[in-house]
Amino acid sequence: MTQQFLRFGLPSGMQWAFEGLAFTVFLIIMGNLPNGEAALASSSIAVTVMMLSILQAWVWRRP
């Protein structure tokens, strides 16, 4: 039973960890740009718009 949890859970957990790490590195790089505040604000707007489009598609697919 534990092996099954690790077999399916470990790759998924690693994916989430790497995705979170990549996003953190992205934000650190954006914050260190010459116009760091503007870069972070624009990336925040882009992520918000992306999430709104994803959430709408997710809501409409549910029966």
Query: How many C-alpha atoms does 26 have within 13 Å on its Cβ side?
Result: 11
The neighbour count for residue 39, using CB atoms within 10 Å, is 16
Cβ contact 40:30 at 8 Å = yes
Q: How far apart are CA 24 and CA 26, in angstroms?
A: 5
Output the pTM of the full model: 0.66
pLDDT tens per residue, range 27-45: 899 889 898 899 889 989 9
Q: pLDDT confidence of 49, banded at 50, 70, 90?
A: very high
DSSP code string of 13-36: HHHHHHHHHHHHHHHHHHHTSTTH
